[in-house]
């Protein structure tokens, strides 16, 4: 018997040719799984995947995992702290290097994060100027600067028009105020609005606020441990029992479907794995 024909959606999911993809914070967790999903769908001979993280050992392990999945894929690993401007210049250098090549599509996925803010404190108790600056530099400033450099340098050439995608890994906390998360909610809301303005000003760019819901990550574990509001921990326990906490693998699978099918309104907040606030 002949095999059934693939749908147009399945064909789009099978192989992305001439693709450039950058995933920040890809040494562990969701970023790692998103990078692995790109490795599965990108054509190795014509595509480039850029990994980023602060832990060199973890990043090297992800690099090896990706080469095992797609041996022909060009993979670059950048060790950098996005808080320090001098440190993440290496990512900008990568944009310069590969900006000379022609790609059909280019993805910048803003996934990197440090921690969830000053969860031991209420909003009015946060008063460490330097720590606040560091947090905002990591979660907002670096995103804005990297987006600018990405869009300027990974661009269309005479023979091939490059379709640019900028993805913000967002959160429900960008839309809904939550106790213990004054700075985190503020940063996420600012990122969300930046993406909406980007979509408004540059209609040809595909801007996406991707909401991964809640995952059992190291950041979440630390939050539960340190948060002054103990009701939060109890709520998370209930969410786990109700099936509202998802694995990074599951979220990454949903992510790659969303970005490849490319059916969202630019600037939209997309949450394929919804949960109740």
246 is a domain residue: yes
Cβ contacts of residue 33 below 8 Å, gap of 6+? 248, 249, 251, 252
The pLDDT mean for the chain works out to: 87
8 is a domain residue: no
141 is a domain residue: yes
Total domains present in the chain:
1
3 is a domain residue: no
pLDDT band at 276 (very low <50, low <70, confident <90, very high): very low
Q: Is 110 a residue whose pLDDT tops 60?
A: yes
Tens of pLDDT, residues 56-103? 999 999 999 999 999 999 999 999 999 887 777 889 999 999 998 999
- d(Cα 39, Cα 36) in Å, to the nearest integer? 5
Tens of pLDDT, residues 129-175? 998 899 899 999 999 999 999 999 999 876 789 999 999 999 988 99
Domain that holds residue 204: 15-269
- pLDDT for res 118: 72
274 is a domain residue: no
Tens of pLDDT, residues 25-57? 999 999 999 999 999 999 999 999 999 999 999
59 is a domain residue: yes
In this predicted model, which residue has the larger pLDDT, 120 or 6?
120
Tokens of 271: 């949450």
Contact 216, 239 (CB under 8 A): no
pLDDT band at 267 (very low <50, low <70, confident <90, very high): very high
Contact 208, 194 (CB under 8 A): no
158 is a domain residue: yes
In the three-class reduction of DSSP (H, G, I as helix; E, B as strand; rest coil), residue 5 is classed as coil
- d(Cα 212, Cα 271) in Å, to the nearest integer? 6
Given its phi and psi angles, is residue 62 left (phi above 0), alpha (psi -120 to 50 degrees) or beta? alpha
27 is a domain residue: yes
Burial string for 239-253 (b: 16+ CB within 10 Å, else e) reads eeeeebbbebeebbb
- d(Cα 84, Cα 60) in Å, to the nearest integer? 21
Angle, in degrees to the nearest 10, between helices 248-261 and 29-41: 50
For the sheet with 48-53, list strands across it: 74-79, 48-53, 19-23, 105-110, 163-169, 206-210, 268-270
Strands (E), 152-229: 163-169, 206-210
- pLDDT for res 166: 99
The mean per-residue pLDDT over the stretch 3-26 comes to: 74
Q: Which of 54, 18, 36 is nearest to 154 (CA)?
A: 18
CATH number for the domain spanning 203: value is: 3.40.50.720
3-state secondary structure 126-148: CCCHHHHHHHHHHHHHHHHHHHH
| Number of other residues whose CB lies within 10 A of the CB of residue 24 | 25
Angstrom distances, CA of residue 162 to CA of 98, 153, 158, 265:
13, 11, 10, 19
């Amino acid at each position: 018997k002949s095999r059934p024909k693939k749908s147009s959606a399945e064909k789009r999911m099978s192989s992305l040719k001439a693709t450039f993809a950058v995933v920040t914070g890809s040494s562990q967790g969701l970023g790692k799984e998103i990078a692995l999903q790109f490795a599965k769908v990108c054509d190795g001979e014509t595509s480039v995947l850029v990994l980023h993280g602060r832990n060199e050992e973890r990043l090297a392990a992800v690099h090896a995992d990706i080469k095992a999945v797609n041996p022909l894929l060009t993979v670059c690993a950048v060790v950098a702290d996005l808080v320090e401007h001098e440190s993440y210049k290496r990512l900008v250098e990568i944009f310069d290097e590969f900006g000379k090549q022609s790609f059909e599509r280019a993805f910048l996925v803003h996934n990197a994060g440090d921690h969830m803010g000053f969860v031991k404190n209420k909003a009015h108790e946060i008063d460490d100027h330097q720590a606040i600056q560091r947090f905002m530099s990591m979660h907002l400033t670096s995103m804005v600067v990297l987006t600018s450099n990405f869009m300027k340098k990974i661009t269309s050439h005479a023979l091939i028009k490059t379709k640019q995608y900028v993805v913000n890994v967002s959160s429900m906390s960008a839309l809904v105020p939550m106790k213990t998360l004054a700075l985190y909610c503020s940063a996420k809301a600012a990122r969300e609005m930046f993406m909406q303005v980007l979509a408004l000003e540059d209609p040809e760019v595909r801007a996406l606020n991707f909401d991964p819901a809640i995952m059992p990550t190291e950041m979440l574990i630390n939050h539960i441990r340190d948060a002054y509001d103990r009701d939060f921990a109890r709520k998370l326990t209930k969410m786990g029992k109700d099936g509202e906490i998802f694995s990074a693998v599951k979220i990454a699978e949903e992510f790659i479907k969303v970005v490849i099918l490319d059916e969202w309104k630019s600037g939209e907040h997309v949450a394929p794995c919804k949960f109740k606030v």
